Amino acid sequence: MEHPGFTLWFTGLSGAGKSTVSGLVAARLRARGCKVEVLDGDVVRTHLSKGLGFSREDRDINIRRIGWVCEVLSRNGVAAIAAAISPYRAVRDEVRARIPNFVEIYMEAPLAVLAERDVKGLYRQALAGELKNFTGVDDPYEPPLQPEVTCYSDGRETPEQSAAKILAHLEARGWLPPAP
């Protein structure tokens, strides 16, 4: 079965599991024969958005660029996966409005949990005032109001359970055949 193109938009604070879960979902989609492209926020910033800073305007430009690429990919039958903090609701909603088959996935985890696991050491720096404009610390993060899927990366779900939840959502919408 050929799937329609769609966009999975992972949003959440730094360290919430966007890259981990999106990678699992991408691998499972490829195993089912889907065409998949992942646009990871960290990778996009080094290629597509090189030179942009972290002002609100620059963050919005970055998200609009990722959204445009997802729109083009989705229109051409690809499962586009964006994994970017995308902190501002208005720009996420703007991107959503342009992409017909859009699924917002909120990787939910409290700041305290993320600061505790702090894989990259960024929360420690931000909380110490050494890193400015850090989302969730001294720059806002606006959680989605009605995401299609919420994944709990604070320990309530494993990354594998989150990936399975997302695939089940795609199956329920008829965009993905049931697993063999």
What pLDDT is attached to residue 1? 46
Local mean pLDDT, 10-residue blocks, the chain (180 residues): 84 95 97 94 82 84 95 96 96 96 97 90 91 89 97 96 97 86
Residue 118 inside a domain? The answer is: no
Domain count, the chain: 1
CA 117 from centre of chain: 19
The CATH number of the domain holding residue 100 is: 3.40.50.300
According to DSSP, the residues that pair with 38 across neighbouring strands are 81
Residue 159 inside a domain? The answer is: yes
Q: Would you name the residues annotated as active-site residues?
A: 86
Residue 1 inside a domain? The answer is: no
Residue 54 inside a domain? The answer is: yes
What pLDDT is attached to residue 2? 63
Residue 99 inside a domain? The answer is: yes
Please, are residues 134 and 85 in contact by the beta-carbon 8 Å criterion? no
Residue 121 inside a domain? The answer is: no
Residue 101 inside a domain? The answer is: yes
Residue 15 inside a domain? The answer is: yes
Residue 158's domain comprises 6-110+142-172
pTM for the whole thing?
A: 0.94
